[in-house]
């Protein structure tokens, strides 16, 4: 009988709407790229995708996916340990390990699954998980599925992390968990300092590189390249759904025994279908390209530096960061929505974020740069920002 819950859900949905928190999805009818076409036929410049390297519609990846359809078919119809492991899964896992300088890798259907399946096989009541307060929802859910004791430290706050490490002193194993880049401010976690504290307090380090892998560090090898600490992070999780092609797929890469234990015990790995050949082969082609050239990283870093410099010159306030995310602060929720709406009129697609996605009074426009953006794209966006900024009296 659907009756009773139907009314309840209608009321809940209404209150979400009244609170201004109802999520509406904008439909895109073109491939994901620097310019996209919306359902009404309007072409806009896209500054809100995780398409950091511009690979979402890259010919090399499309070709690899097409080839795999011919050689390995459409789907695997199995989990990995029954009959769902293809030669190319093994190859991609090796390529990911080589890219990050780690010992072994395990593929998942998504990084949400990688994070959901990492803690429970490794840690129990006797252990401690020490987690940054702004970590991604999938880390929070993964921690919930595990019986280890939980400790939380304020975002990127090393003094607070040290307090929590002291609180967790008597636990058997300790692991410090952080996003590599936090998606709302774009700030990079101080993983160099985290590793120092981890050494001092005998803790493991896990970094979720979803927004940092492919982006951060001179050749995009992520936070361990940025801080020159390759091989020091015990566990790295990441996605194939952002910089690395944008389709789907996740991975955990790191110490040999940890990965082997996940292969034996990680539930989203054991009880969920394996990655389709198209995705896997495109991933291999992508990492082969990364091994050859860091031209896309050079372009992305150049674009990010340029946009950051010019938007500050125009008088906007931004959050400091070394990632491809630029948070342009407006502080007022309504203003952030009006600003984004007017930018769309100008052909610039960005999203305004406000409480509870970001703290109260910290509403902002988030801009995500891509290697796919040309200088002309950036200049168009910058002049639209100036025009709307003046109209709405954010800048003079």
Ligand X SMILES: *Cc1c(COP(=O)(O)O)cnc(C)c1O
Using the contact rule CB under 6 A, the part of the chain among 94-102, 110-118, 306-314, 327-335 near ligand X is 110-118
Q: For residue 373, count other CB atoms closer than 10 A to its CB.
A: 26
Structure tokens at 284: 């291999």
Give me the catalytic one of 56, 138, 183, 370.
183
Q: Which member of 99, 112, 119, 349 binds ligand X (CB under 6 A)? A: 112
User: In the β-sheet with 363-368, what is the strand arrangement from edge to edge?
Assistant: 325-331, 363-368, 351-353
- The Cα–Cα gap between 214 and 335 comes to 33
Which lies closer to ligand X via its Cβ, residue 208 or residue 332? 208
* Closest listed residue to residue 334, CA positions, set 367, 361, 307, 298: 361
**DSSP-assigned states of every residue in 30-95:** S-SSSEEEBTTS-EEEE-SSS-TTS-TT-HHHHHHHHHHHHHH-S---S-IIIII--HHHHHHHHH
Q: Is residue 51 a contact point for ligand X (CB under 6 A)?
A: no
Structure tokens at 49: 């995708």
Q: Which member of 93, 120, 208, 362 binds ligand X (CB under 6 A)? A: 208
Q: Which member of 116, 241, 277, 283 binds ligand X (CB under 6 A)? A: 241
Annotated catalytic, 383?
no
Which lies closer to ligand X via its Cβ, residue 274 or residue 332? 274
Considering the complex, what minimum distance in angstroms separates the CB of residue 168 from ligand X? 23
Query: At which residue do the structure tokens 């970094």 appear?
Result: 207
Q: Kindly tell me the burial class for residue 306, based on how many C-beta atoms sit within 10 Å of its own C-beta (0-12, 13-18, 19 or more).
A: middle
Q: Is residue 214 a contact point for ligand X (CB under 6 A)?
A: no
Q: Contacts with ligand X in 145-204 (CB under 6 A)?
A: 179, 183
Q: Is residue 138 a contact point for ligand X (CB under 6 A)?
A: yes
Considering the complex, what minimum distance in angstroms separates the CB of residue 17 from ligand X? 26
Using the contact rule CB under 6 A, the part of the chain among 82-90, 111-119, 216-224, 350-358 near ligand X is 111-119
Considering the complex, what minimum distance in angstroms separates the CB of residue 8 from ligand X? 29
Q: Is residue 142 a contact point for ligand X (CB under 6 A)?
A: no
Which lies closer to ligand X via its Cβ, residue 248 or residue 344? 248
Q: Is 208 helix (H, G, I), strand (E, B) or coil?
A: strand
Q: Which member of 164, 239, 266, 304 binds ligand X (CB under 6 A)? A: 239
User: Is the Cβ–Cβ distance between 68 and 281 less than 8 Å?
Assistant: yes
- In the chain the first and final C-alpha atoms are separated, in Å, by 60
Annotated catalytic, 183?
yes
Q: Is residue 111 a contact point for ligand X (CB under 6 A)?
A: yes
User: Is the Cβ–Cβ distance between 107 and 94 less than 8 Å?
Assistant: no
Which lies closer to ligand X via its Cβ, residue 117 or residue 241? 241
Considering the complex, what minimum distance in angstroms separates the CB of residue 25 from ligand X? 16
Q: Please, what's the b/e burial string for 14-39 (b: 16 or more CB within 10 A of its CB; e: otherwise)?
A: eeeeeeeeeeeeeebeeebbbebeee
Site map 245..284 versus ligand X, x via CB under 6 A: -----x----------------------------------
Tell me the catalytic residues.
Answer: 183, 211, 242
Positions in the binding site for ligand X (CB under 6 A): 110-112, 115, 136, 138, 179, 183, 208, 210-211, 239, 241, 250
């Amino acid at each position: 009988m659907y009756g009773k819950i139907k009314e309840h859900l209608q009321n809940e949905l209404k209150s979400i709407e009244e609170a201004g928190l109802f999520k509406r999805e904008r439909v895109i009818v073109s491939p994901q790229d620097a310019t996209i076409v919306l359902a009404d036929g309007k072409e806009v410049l896209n500054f809100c995708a995780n398409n950091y390297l511009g690979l979402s519609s890259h010919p090399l990846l499309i070709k690899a996916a097409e080839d795999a359809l011919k050689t390995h078919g459409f789907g695997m119809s199995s989990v990995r340990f029954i009959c769902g492991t293809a030669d190319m899964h093994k190859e991609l896992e090796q390529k990911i390990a080589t890219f990050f300088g780690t010992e072994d890798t395990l593929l998942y259907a998504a990084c949400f699954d990688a994070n959901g399946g990492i803690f429970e096989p490794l840690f129990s009541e006797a252990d401690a998980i020490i987690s940054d307060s702004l970590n991604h929802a999938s880390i929070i859910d993964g921690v919930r599925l595990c019986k280890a004791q939980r400790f939380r430290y304020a975002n990127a706050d090393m003094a607070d992390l040290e307090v929590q490490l002291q609180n967790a002193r008597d636990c058997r194993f300790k692991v410090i968990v952080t996003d590599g880049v936090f998606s709302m401010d774009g700030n990079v976690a101080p993983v160099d300092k985290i590793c120092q504290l981890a050494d001092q307090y005998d803790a493991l380090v896990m970094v979720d590189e979803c927004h940092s892998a492919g982006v951060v560090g001179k050749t995009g090898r992520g936070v361990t390249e940025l801080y020159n600490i390759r091989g020091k992070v015990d566990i790295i999780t990441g996605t194939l759904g952002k910089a690395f092609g944008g389709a789907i797929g996740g991975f955990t890469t790191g110490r040999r025994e940890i990965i082997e234990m996940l292969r034996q015990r990680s539930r989203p790995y054991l009880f969920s279908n394996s990655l389709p050949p198209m995705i896997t082969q495109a991933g291999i082609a992508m990492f082969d390209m990364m091994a050859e050239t860091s031209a896309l990283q050079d372009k992305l870093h150049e674009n990010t530096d340029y946009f950051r410099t010019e938007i500050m010159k125009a008088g906007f306030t931004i959050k400091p960061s070394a990632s491809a995310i630029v948070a342009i602060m407006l502080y007022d929720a309504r203003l952030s929505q009006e600003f984004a709406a007017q930018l769309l009129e100008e052909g610039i697609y960005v999203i305004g974020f406000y409480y509870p996605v970001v703290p109260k009074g910290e509403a902002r426009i988030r801009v995500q740069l891509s290697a796919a953006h040309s200088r002309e794209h950036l200049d168009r966006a910058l002049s639209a920002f100036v025009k709307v900024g003046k109209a709405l009296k954010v800048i003079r």
